[in-house]
Structures are given as structure tokens and as C-alpha cells.
Amino acid sequence: MRGFLISPAAERDLESILAWTQAHFGEQARLRYEALLAQGIAHVAEEPDRGGSHHRSEIADAARTYHLWHSRNHVPVADGRVKYPRHFLLYRTRSDGRVEIGRVLHDSMDLERQLPEDYR
């Protein structure tokens, strides 16, 4: 794995997603979504241009998105699987080779309005 960084905005996104999931669906659902998020991040850290990812040159030269849908079948069955994930990762590969997760956004959000300032 190349390694990865999670921006402060993405940290807040992760905390919010997991808190909301637990409040609405319970601890087991939160654990399932947490496992899915970890798998999605691991996937893009291992292979930033993996299948299912999209280069987003309209955002920034190095920006990519990856919907967690593409990682859902790679979470160990013992953890349970999320049938219909609704989030995607906004990320880029830094000059040192590490992947920087800029945001973790719900797929109904307007991406342009949620961009980290340094992606603009």
C-alpha cells in the first residue's frame, strides 16, 4: 500500500457519517459502514486509478472520485455487508505518492459546493 492521509474535512465527514449511521440504524450498521469505509480507503490507497474511480479534471488535475459501491463486496462477510452504500471518496495522489482523502461525501451532495479549498 502506498499510504494515505485523511484531511481534516474528511475526518469530520467520517465522524458525521458514522454518528448518523449509529443514531439511525444502530451500532451493528455503524460497524458495517465503518468496515466499508476502511475498505474503500484501502482500495484507493493501493491503486488510486482502480476500476470504478473517475478522474475529475473539472475539479482539479489530480482529483479523483471513487464510490464505496465498488468496495462493498470486498468487506469480510463476518463484518456484514452494506447493500446500498451512498458515499464516495474525493481524493488525489500527492507528489510523495500517498493518497490524500479530501472529502467523504453522500452521493446526493453537490460536489462543487463541497470541495476543499485547496482542490479549487
Give the cell for residue 84. Answer: 446500498
Q: What is the pTM of this model?
A: 0.90
Average pLDDT score over residue span 75-81: 78
Compute the 3-state secondary structure of the chain and give helix, strand, coil in percent, each to the nearest 5. 45, 20, 30
Q: Strand, helix or coil at 39?
A: helix
Assigned CATH for 4-119 = 3.30.2310.20
What pLDDT digit, counting tens, does each position of 38-74 carry? 999 999 999 999 999 999 988 888 899 999 999 999 9
* Res. 106: pLDDT tops 80: yes
Task: Return the pLDDT at 59.
Answer: 81
